[in-house]
Amino acid sequence: MITVEEARALLFDLVSPLEAEEVPLADAAGRVLARDVAATRDQPPFAASSMDGYAVKSAEVELHAMFKVIGEAAAGHAFGGLVGAGQAVRIFTGAPVPEGADFVVIQEDVDRKGDLITITDAPGTKDNIRRAGVDFTKGTTISAPCLLRAEDVALLAAMNIPQVPVARKPVVALISTGDELVMPGDEPGPDQIIASNTFGLKALLEGLGAHVRVLPIARDTVASLETAFGLAHGADLVVTIGGASVGDHDLVGDVAQGLGMERAFYKVRMRPGKPLMAGRLGDAAMVGLPGNPVSAMVCGYLFLAPMIRRMLGLDDIVPPLRRARLTAPLAANGPREHYMRATLDENGIAACEDQDSSLLSVLALADALLMRPPDDPARDVGDEVTYLPL
Ligand code: AMP
Ligand code: MG
Protein backbone atom coordinates (compact mmCIF):
# COMPACT_ATOMS: atom_id res chain seq x y z
CA MET A 1 0.00 0.00 0.00
CA ILE A 2 1.29 3.48 -0.84
CA THR A 3 1.73 6.33 1.65
CA VAL A 4 -0.25 9.56 1.80
CA GLU A 5 2.67 11.41 0.24
CA GLU A 6 2.99 8.91 -2.61
CA ALA A 7 -0.77 9.06 -3.20
CA ARG A 8 -0.60 12.85 -3.37
CA ALA A 9 2.20 12.77 -5.93
CA LEU A 10 0.16 10.41 -8.13
CA LEU A 11 -2.94 12.57 -7.73
CA PHE A 12 -1.04 15.69 -8.77
CA ASP A 13 -0.03 13.91 -11.97
CA LEU A 14 -3.71 13.48 -12.79
CA VAL A 15 -4.42 17.23 -12.94
CA SER A 16 -2.74 20.30 -14.36
CA PRO A 17 -3.23 24.06 -14.09
CA LEU A 18 -6.31 25.26 -15.96
CA GLU A 19 -6.47 28.05 -18.52
CA ALA A 20 -7.15 31.69 -17.60
CA GLU A 21 -10.35 33.66 -18.08
CA GLU A 22 -11.24 37.30 -17.43
CA VAL A 23 -13.80 38.21 -14.79
CA PRO A 24 -15.14 41.60 -13.73
CA LEU A 25 -13.30 43.04 -10.72
CA ALA A 26 -16.48 42.69 -8.62
CA ASP A 27 -16.33 38.89 -9.10
CA ALA A 28 -12.59 38.49 -8.54
CA ALA A 29 -12.57 37.79 -4.78
CA GLY A 30 -11.67 34.19 -4.00
CA ARG A 31 -10.30 33.60 -7.50
CA VAL A 32 -6.66 32.97 -8.33
CA LEU A 33 -4.84 35.62 -10.34
CA ALA A 34 -3.55 33.86 -13.45
CA ARG A 35 -1.17 36.52 -14.87
CA ASP A 36 0.80 39.39 -13.36
CA VAL A 37 -1.18 42.61 -13.59
CA ALA A 38 0.29 46.13 -13.54
CA ALA A 39 -1.11 49.40 -12.22
CA THR A 40 -2.15 51.73 -15.01
CA ARG A 41 -1.60 54.88 -12.89
CA ASP A 42 0.15 56.34 -9.84
CA GLN A 43 -1.64 56.44 -6.52
CA PRO A 44 -2.13 59.05 -5.39
CA PRO A 45 -1.81 60.65 -8.82
CA PHE A 46 -0.80 63.99 -7.22
CA ALA A 47 0.70 65.13 -3.92
CA ALA A 48 -2.33 65.05 -1.61
CA SER A 49 -3.09 66.43 1.80
CA SER A 50 -3.42 63.79 4.51
CA MET A 51 -5.16 66.20 6.92
CA ASP A 52 -7.66 69.03 7.06
CA GLY A 53 -5.73 72.31 7.46
CA TYR A 54 -3.92 75.01 5.49
CA ALA A 55 -1.41 74.55 2.66
CA VAL A 56 1.55 76.92 2.98
CA LYS A 57 5.28 77.20 2.23
CA SER A 58 7.29 75.11 4.73
CA ALA A 59 10.00 77.79 4.95
CA GLU A 60 7.44 80.12 6.50
CA VAL A 61 6.05 77.68 9.05
CA GLU A 62 6.76 78.74 12.63
CA LEU A 63 4.81 79.50 15.78
CA HIS A 64 2.85 82.82 15.54
CA ALA A 65 3.40 83.10 11.75
CA MET A 66 0.43 84.69 9.93
CA PHE A 67 -0.97 83.90 6.45
CA LYS A 68 -3.71 85.22 4.21
CA VAL A 69 -6.17 82.55 3.00
CA ILE A 70 -6.54 82.92 -0.79
CA GLY A 71 -8.69 79.92 -1.69
CA GLU A 72 -9.75 76.37 -1.00
CA ALA A 73 -8.78 72.85 -2.15
CA ALA A 74 -11.08 69.92 -1.39
CA ALA A 75 -11.02 66.28 -2.50
CA GLY A 76 -11.97 66.28 -6.16
CA HIS A 77 -11.64 70.11 -6.34
CA ALA A 78 -8.09 71.31 -6.87
CA PHE A 79 -7.09 74.93 -6.22
CA GLY A 80 -5.91 76.21 -9.59
CA GLY A 81 -3.71 79.08 -8.42
CA LEU A 82 -0.26 79.44 -6.93
CA VAL A 83 0.51 79.80 -3.21
CA GLY A 84 2.87 82.74 -2.75
CA ALA A 85 4.81 84.10 0.23
CA GLY A 86 2.54 84.78 3.24
CA GLN A 87 -0.36 82.96 1.59
CA ALA A 88 -2.34 79.87 2.56
CA VAL A 89 -5.00 77.69 0.92
CA ARG A 90 -7.67 76.07 3.03
CA ILE A 91 -7.22 72.33 2.28
CA PHE A 92 -9.03 69.10 3.10
CA THR A 93 -7.94 65.44 3.21
CA GLY A 94 -7.40 64.00 -0.26
CA ALA A 95 -7.17 67.36 -2.02
CA PRO A 96 -4.21 68.07 -4.32
CA VAL A 97 -1.61 70.26 -2.61
CA PRO A 98 -1.57 73.49 -4.65
CA GLU A 99 1.47 74.63 -6.51
CA GLY A 100 3.82 76.72 -4.39
CA ALA A 101 2.84 74.97 -1.13
CA ASP A 102 4.79 72.11 0.41
CA PHE A 103 3.37 71.91 3.92
CA VAL A 104 -0.05 71.47 5.48
CA VAL A 105 -0.56 73.02 8.92
CA ILE A 106 -3.35 71.05 10.59
CA GLN A 107 -6.42 73.11 11.47
CA GLU A 108 -6.02 72.29 15.19
CA ASP A 109 -2.75 74.31 15.21
CA VAL A 110 -4.33 77.42 13.66
CA ASP A 111 -6.54 80.29 14.75
CA ARG A 112 -8.59 81.84 11.94
CA LYS A 113 -10.16 85.30 11.84
CA GLY A 114 -11.80 86.15 8.51
CA ASP A 115 -9.24 85.31 5.84
CA LEU A 116 -6.26 85.56 8.21
CA ILE A 117 -4.76 82.58 10.04
CA THR A 118 -2.16 82.48 12.82
CA ILE A 119 -0.21 79.38 13.82
CA THR A 120 -1.03 79.06 17.53
CA ASP A 121 0.47 75.65 18.32
CA ALA A 122 3.93 74.29 17.44
CA PRO A 123 3.28 72.75 14.01
CA GLY A 124 6.08 70.14 14.20
CA THR A 125 8.01 68.91 11.18
CA LYS A 126 5.55 66.45 9.63
CA ASP A 127 4.33 68.03 6.39
CA ASN A 128 1.02 66.08 6.24
CA ILE A 129 1.47 65.49 2.50
CA ARG A 130 1.21 62.15 0.70
CA ARG A 131 3.68 62.16 -2.19
CA ALA A 132 2.40 61.27 -5.66
CA GLY A 133 2.82 57.52 -6.18
CA VAL A 134 3.57 56.79 -2.52
CA ASP A 135 1.08 53.89 -2.50
CA PHE A 136 2.06 52.53 -5.94
CA THR A 137 3.25 53.82 -9.27
CA LYS A 138 2.25 53.02 -12.81
CA GLY A 139 3.70 49.59 -13.63
CA THR A 140 3.69 48.29 -10.05
CA THR A 141 2.65 44.65 -10.39
CA ILE A 142 0.64 42.12 -8.43
CA SER A 143 2.33 38.81 -9.09
CA ALA A 144 0.46 35.68 -10.13
CA PRO A 145 -0.43 33.17 -8.89
CA CYS A 146 -2.20 34.80 -5.98
CA LEU A 147 -5.45 33.92 -4.25
CA LEU A 148 -7.33 37.21 -4.35
CA ARG A 149 -8.55 38.33 -0.93
CA ALA A 150 -10.74 41.34 -0.22
CA GLU A 151 -7.70 43.57 0.24
CA ASP A 152 -6.20 42.44 -3.08
CA VAL A 153 -9.47 43.31 -4.81
CA ALA A 154 -9.31 46.79 -3.28
CA LEU A 155 -5.75 47.18 -4.60
CA LEU A 156 -6.77 45.98 -8.09
CA ALA A 157 -9.58 48.53 -8.06
CA ALA A 158 -7.22 51.35 -7.04
CA MET A 159 -4.91 50.27 -9.87
CA ASN A 160 -7.87 50.69 -12.26
CA ILE A 161 -7.96 47.08 -13.41
CA PRO A 162 -11.66 46.46 -14.14
CA GLN A 163 -11.20 43.02 -15.74
CA VAL A 164 -9.04 40.50 -13.90
CA PRO A 165 -7.34 37.46 -15.47
CA VAL A 166 -8.02 34.48 -13.19
CA ALA A 167 -7.71 30.71 -13.45
CA ARG A 168 -10.89 29.06 -14.67
CA LYS A 169 -12.80 27.36 -11.86
CA PRO A 170 -12.15 23.61 -11.77
CA VAL A 171 -15.44 21.78 -12.38
CA VAL A 172 -15.97 18.92 -9.95
CA ALA A 173 -18.75 16.33 -10.32
CA LEU A 174 -19.72 14.64 -7.05
CA ILE A 175 -21.42 11.26 -7.22
CA SER A 176 -22.79 9.72 -4.04
CA THR A 177 -23.38 6.00 -4.35
CA GLY A 178 -25.56 3.73 -2.27
CA ASP A 179 -29.06 2.27 -2.12
CA GLU A 180 -29.33 3.53 1.47
CA LEU A 181 -28.94 7.24 0.58
CA VAL A 182 -31.52 9.97 0.02
CA MET A 183 -30.99 13.69 -0.47
CA PRO A 184 -31.43 16.09 2.45
CA GLY A 185 -35.09 17.10 2.57
CA ASP A 186 -36.28 13.81 1.07
CA GLU A 187 -38.24 11.25 3.11
CA PRO A 188 -35.85 8.39 4.01
CA GLY A 189 -37.20 4.82 4.22
CA PRO A 190 -36.69 2.91 7.49
CA ASP A 191 -33.36 1.50 6.26
CA GLN A 192 -32.08 4.70 4.69
CA ILE A 193 -29.88 7.64 5.73
CA ILE A 194 -29.21 11.10 4.35
CA ALA A 195 -26.34 11.71 1.93
CA SER A 196 -24.11 14.04 3.92
CA ASN A 197 -20.54 13.85 2.61
CA THR A 198 -21.64 15.17 -0.71
CA PHE A 199 -22.65 18.46 0.83
CA GLY A 200 -19.64 18.68 3.12
CA LEU A 201 -17.35 18.13 0.16
CA LYS A 202 -19.24 20.62 -1.99
CA ALA A 203 -18.80 23.27 0.70
CA LEU A 204 -15.12 22.44 1.13
CA LEU A 205 -14.29 22.48 -2.57
CA GLU A 206 -16.36 25.55 -3.40
CA GLY A 207 -14.62 27.35 -0.56
CA LEU A 208 -11.36 26.62 -2.37
CA GLY A 209 -12.65 28.03 -5.66
CA ALA A 210 -14.09 25.00 -7.46
CA HIS A 211 -17.43 24.82 -9.21
CA VAL A 212 -19.16 21.72 -7.83
CA ARG A 213 -21.97 19.80 -9.53
CA VAL A 214 -23.83 17.45 -7.19
CA LEU A 215 -25.16 14.64 -9.39
CA PRO A 216 -28.15 12.46 -8.54
CA ILE A 217 -27.35 9.65 -6.12
CA ALA A 218 -26.21 6.51 -7.95
CA ARG A 219 -27.73 3.25 -6.80
CA ASP A 220 -25.58 0.18 -6.20
CA THR A 221 -26.09 -1.14 -9.71
CA VAL A 222 -23.82 -1.08 -12.73
CA ALA A 223 -26.46 0.71 -14.81
CA SER A 224 -27.05 3.46 -12.26
CA LEU A 225 -23.32 4.06 -11.79
CA GLU A 226 -22.79 4.18 -15.55
CA THR A 227 -25.56 6.76 -15.84
CA ALA A 228 -23.95 8.85 -13.11
CA PHE A 229 -20.53 8.72 -14.80
CA GLY A 230 -22.25 9.78 -18.01
CA LEU A 231 -23.75 12.81 -16.25
CA ALA A 232 -20.30 13.74 -14.94
CA HIS A 233 -19.08 14.30 -18.49
CA GLY A 234 -17.30 17.64 -18.88
CA ALA A 235 -15.99 17.81 -15.33
CA ASP A 236 -12.27 18.26 -14.67
CA LEU A 237 -12.51 16.02 -11.61
CA VAL A 238 -15.06 13.27 -11.02
CA VAL A 239 -15.39 12.25 -7.37
CA THR A 240 -17.39 9.23 -6.27
CA ILE A 241 -18.32 8.67 -2.65
CA GLY A 242 -18.78 5.16 -1.31
CA GLY A 243 -18.80 1.81 -3.03
CA ALA A 244 -15.02 1.77 -3.12
CA SER A 245 -14.32 -1.18 -0.83
CA VAL A 246 -14.47 -4.82 -1.77
CA GLY A 247 -18.01 -5.72 -0.63
CA ASP A 248 -20.56 -7.28 -2.99
CA HIS A 249 -22.16 -3.86 -3.46
CA ASP A 250 -18.93 -1.94 -4.03
CA LEU A 251 -19.03 -1.53 -7.77
CA VAL A 252 -17.35 1.84 -8.36
CA GLY A 253 -13.92 0.45 -9.26
CA ASP A 254 -15.27 -2.13 -11.70
CA VAL A 255 -17.68 0.27 -13.37
CA ALA A 256 -15.04 3.00 -13.70
CA GLN A 257 -12.59 0.53 -15.19
CA GLY A 258 -15.28 -0.75 -17.54
CA LEU A 259 -15.63 2.85 -18.75
CA GLY A 260 -11.91 3.03 -19.45
CA MET A 261 -10.52 4.42 -16.20
CA GLU A 262 -6.74 4.03 -16.03
CA ARG A 263 -6.10 3.36 -12.38
CA ALA A 264 -3.25 5.25 -10.73
CA PHE A 265 -3.63 3.54 -7.35
CA TYR A 266 -6.05 1.82 -5.02
CA LYS A 267 -5.68 1.94 -1.22
CA VAL A 268 -3.53 4.26 0.86
CA ARG A 269 -1.76 3.37 4.11
CA MET A 270 -3.82 5.77 6.20
CA ARG A 271 -6.64 5.98 8.72
CA PRO A 272 -9.35 6.90 7.94
CA GLY A 273 -9.52 6.67 4.15
CA LYS A 274 -7.74 3.46 3.24
CA PRO A 275 -9.95 2.38 0.29
CA LEU A 276 -9.13 5.46 -1.80
CA MET A 277 -8.85 4.97 -5.54
CA ALA A 278 -7.78 7.29 -8.33
CA GLY A 279 -7.04 7.38 -12.02
CA ARG A 280 -7.75 9.04 -15.33
CA LEU A 281 -11.17 8.76 -16.90
CA GLY A 282 -11.16 10.29 -20.37
CA ASP A 283 -10.25 13.97 -20.00
CA ALA A 284 -11.00 13.99 -16.29
CA ALA A 285 -9.22 12.91 -13.14
CA MET A 286 -11.27 10.44 -11.14
CA VAL A 287 -11.05 9.93 -7.37
CA GLY A 288 -13.11 7.30 -5.57
CA LEU A 289 -13.56 8.22 -1.91
CA PRO A 290 -14.60 5.83 0.84
CA GLY A 291 -18.20 6.37 1.93
CA ASN A 292 -17.81 6.83 5.64
CA PRO A 293 -18.48 10.51 6.20
CA VAL A 294 -15.32 11.32 8.15
CA SER A 295 -13.15 9.29 5.78
CA ALA A 296 -14.58 11.15 2.81
CA MET A 297 -14.02 14.55 4.40
CA VAL A 298 -10.47 13.70 5.56
CA CYS A 299 -9.64 12.60 2.01
CA GLY A 300 -11.18 15.88 0.86
CA TYR A 301 -8.80 17.92 3.05
CA LEU A 302 -5.73 15.80 2.28
CA PHE A 303 -6.17 15.01 -1.40
CA LEU A 304 -8.99 16.87 -3.14
CA ALA A 305 -8.10 20.29 -1.74
CA PRO A 306 -4.50 20.18 -3.04
CA MET A 307 -5.74 18.90 -6.42
CA ILE A 308 -8.07 21.89 -6.69
CA ARG A 309 -5.23 24.22 -5.72
CA ARG A 310 -3.01 22.67 -8.38
CA MET A 311 -5.69 23.15 -11.04
CA LEU A 312 -5.99 26.78 -9.94
CA GLY A 313 -2.27 27.19 -10.58
CA LEU A 314 -1.29 27.93 -6.98
CA ASP A 315 2.28 27.25 -5.83
CA ASP A 316 1.74 26.07 -2.26
CA ILE A 317 -0.75 23.35 -2.87
CA VAL A 318 -0.27 21.17 0.18
CA PRO A 319 -1.81 22.76 3.28
CA PRO A 320 0.86 23.79 5.80
CA LEU A 321 1.12 21.71 8.96
CA ARG A 322 1.52 23.15 12.45
CA ARG A 323 2.92 21.93 15.75
CA ALA A 324 1.30 21.89 19.17
CA ARG A 325 1.81 20.21 22.54
CA LEU A 326 -0.45 17.42 23.69
CA THR A 327 -2.82 18.19 26.54
CA ALA A 328 -3.84 14.51 26.81
CA PRO A 329 -1.80 11.33 26.26
CA LEU A 330 -2.07 9.20 23.11
CA ALA A 331 -1.86 5.42 22.78
CA ALA A 332 0.67 3.94 20.33
CA ASN A 333 -0.34 4.17 16.66
CA GLY A 334 -0.70 1.20 14.33
CA PRO A 335 1.03 0.71 10.96
CA ARG A 336 -1.05 3.31 9.08
CA GLU A 337 -0.70 7.11 9.18
CA HIS A 338 -3.55 8.25 11.41
CA TYR A 339 -5.42 11.54 11.03
CA MET A 340 -7.17 11.93 14.36
CA ARG A 341 -9.98 14.38 14.95
CA ALA A 342 -8.67 16.77 17.61
CA THR A 343 -9.49 19.97 19.45
CA LEU A 344 -7.17 22.90 20.06
CA ASP A 345 -7.09 25.34 22.95
CA GLU A 346 -4.56 27.82 24.31
CA ASN A 347 -2.71 24.97 26.08
CA GLY A 348 -2.37 22.70 23.09
CA ILE A 349 -4.09 19.85 21.30
CA ALA A 350 -6.05 16.76 22.36
CA ALA A 351 -7.47 13.94 20.24
CA CYS A 352 -11.24 13.48 20.45
CA GLU A 353 -12.32 10.44 22.42
CA ASP A 354 -14.18 8.50 19.72
CA GLN A 355 -12.31 8.22 16.42
CA ASP A 356 -14.92 6.14 14.56
CA SER A 357 -14.93 7.31 10.95
CA SER A 358 -18.72 7.57 10.76
CA LEU A 359 -19.06 10.28 13.41
CA LEU A 360 -19.77 13.62 11.79
CA SER A 361 -20.69 15.13 15.17
CA VAL A 362 -17.10 14.55 16.32
CA LEU A 363 -15.65 15.97 13.10
CA ALA A 364 -17.85 19.05 13.45
CA LEU A 365 -16.45 19.70 16.94
CA ALA A 366 -12.85 19.19 15.81
CA ASP A 367 -10.48 22.07 14.97
CA ALA A 368 -7.66 19.95 13.64
CA LEU A 369 -6.50 16.62 12.29
CA LEU A 370 -3.74 15.38 14.56
CA MET A 371 -1.27 13.43 12.39
CA ARG A 372 0.29 10.26 13.73
CA PRO A 373 3.11 8.71 11.70
CA PRO A 374 2.98 4.93 11.19
CA ASP A 375 4.00 3.04 14.35
CA ASP A 376 4.28 6.25 16.37
CA PRO A 377 4.85 5.19 20.00
CA ALA A 378 2.57 6.23 22.86
CA ARG A 379 2.81 9.95 23.59
CA ASP A 380 2.59 11.93 26.83
CA VAL A 381 1.09 15.26 27.80
CA GLY A 382 3.54 17.97 26.67
CA ASP A 383 4.93 16.04 23.68
CA GLU A 384 4.93 18.01 20.44
CA VAL A 385 2.76 16.69 17.60
CA THR A 386 1.92 17.79 14.07
CA TYR A 387 -1.55 18.77 12.97
CA LEU A 388 -3.52 20.09 10.05
CA PRO A 389 -5.84 22.94 11.07
CA LEU A 390 -9.44 22.59 9.88
P1 AMP B 1 -19.41 2.37 1.39
O2 AMP B 1 -18.03 2.91 1.15
O3 AMP B 1 -20.32 2.55 0.23
O4 AMP B 1 -19.37 0.95 1.87
O5 AMP B 1 -20.02 3.23 2.55
C6 AMP B 1 -19.47 3.20 3.86
C7 AMP B 1 -20.42 3.85 4.84
O8 AMP B 1 -20.58 5.21 4.50
C9 AMP B 1 -21.80 3.26 4.84
O10 AMP B 1 -22.27 3.24 6.16
C11 AMP B 1 -22.60 4.22 3.99
O12 AMP B 1 -23.96 4.21 4.34
C13 AMP B 1 -21.95 5.54 4.30
N14 AMP B 1 -22.05 6.49 3.20
C15 AMP B 1 -21.71 6.27 1.92
N16 AMP B 1 -21.91 7.36 1.16
C17 AMP B 1 -22.40 8.29 1.98
C18 AMP B 1 -22.82 9.65 1.81
N19 AMP B 1 -22.74 10.27 0.63
N20 AMP B 1 -23.26 10.30 2.90
C21 AMP B 1 -23.33 9.70 4.11
N22 AMP B 1 -22.95 8.45 4.33
C23 AMP B 1 -22.50 7.74 3.29
MG1 MG C 1 -22.08 1.89 -0.36
Whole-angstrom distance, CA of residue 57 vs CA of residue 87: 8
366 alpha carbon to ligand 1 midpoint, in Å?
21
Whether 46 contacts 64, CB under 8 Å: no
Whole-angstrom distance, CA of residue 178 vs CA of residue 381: 42
Which helix (H) or strand (E) is 69 found in, with range?
A: strand 66-73
| 107 phi, psi to nearest 5 deg | -65, -25
367 alpha carbon to ligand 2 midpoint, in Å?
28
Output the pLDDT for position 245.
85
- Those residues whose beta carbon sits under 5 angstroms from the ion ligand 2 are 178, 242-243, 291
Banded model confidence at residue 249, pLDDT cuts 50, 70, 90: confident
238 alpha carbon to ligand 1 midpoint, in Å?
17
Average pLDDT over residues 251-272: 96
Pairing verdict, β 277-281 and 284-289: antiparallel
Q: Is this structure's pTM higher than 0.85?
A: yes
Whole-angstrom distance, CA of residue 349 vs CA of residue 326: 5
Taking phi first (over 0 means left), then psi (-120 to 50 degrees means alpha), and beta for anything else, what does residue 264 get? alpha
Q: Which of 296, 281, 301 shows the shortest CA–CA distance to 14?
A: 281
Whole-angstrom distance, CA of residue 315 vs CA of residue 13: 15
| Residue type (1 letter), 227 | T
Tell me if 196 CB under 6 Å of ligand 1.
yes
| Residue type (1 letter), 106 | I
Q: Which of 305, 367, 296, 297 shows the shortest CA–CA distance to 147?
A: 305
216 alpha carbon to ligand 2 midpoint, in Å?
15
The residue contributing the CA closest to ligand 1 atom 19 is: 195
Predicted confidence (pLDDT) per residue in 320-367, tens digit: 999 999 999 999 999 999 999 999 999 999 999 999 999 999 999 999
Q: Which atom of ligand 1 is nearest to the CA of 290?
A: 2
Find residue 171's DSSP bridge partners.
211
Banded model confidence at residue 248, pLDDT cuts 50, 70, 90: confident
Count the helix, strand and coil residues of the chain and give each as a percent rounded to the nearest 5: 20, 35, 45
Tell me if 204 CB under 6 Å of ligand 1.
no
What whole-number percentage of the chain has pLDDT above 70?
100
Banded model confidence at residue 247, pLDDT cuts 50, 70, 90: confident
Taking phi first (over 0 means left), then psi (-120 to 50 degrees means alpha), and beta for anything else, what does residue 249 get? alpha
Whole-angstrom distance, CA of residue 183 vs CA of residue 195: 6
Banded model confidence at residue 151, pLDDT cuts 50, 70, 90: very high
Whole-angstrom distance, CA of residue 307 vs CA of residue 285: 10
| Residue type (1 letter), 15 | V
| 36 phi, psi to nearest 5 deg | -60, 140
Output the pLDDT for position 311.
98
Cβ atoms within 10 Å of 169's Cβ, excluding its own: 22
Banded model confidence at residue 246, pLDDT cuts 50, 70, 90: confident
- Ligand nearest the Cα of residue 241 is 1
Whether 90 contacts 81, CB under 8 Å: no
Average pLDDT over residues 220-233: 97
Whole-angstrom distance, CA of residue 59 vs CA of residue 83: 13
Predicted confidence (pLDDT) per residue in 19-55, tens digit: 999 999 999 999 999 999 999 999 999 999 999 999 9
DSSP for 268-279 reads BSEES-TT-EEE
Predicted confidence (pLDDT) per residue in 160-217, tens digit: 999 999 999 999 999 999 999 999 999 999 999 999 999 999 999 999 999 999 999 9
Vertex 288, ends 286 and 293: CA angle to 5°? 135
Tell whether the model's pLDDT for residue 230 goes beyond 90: yes
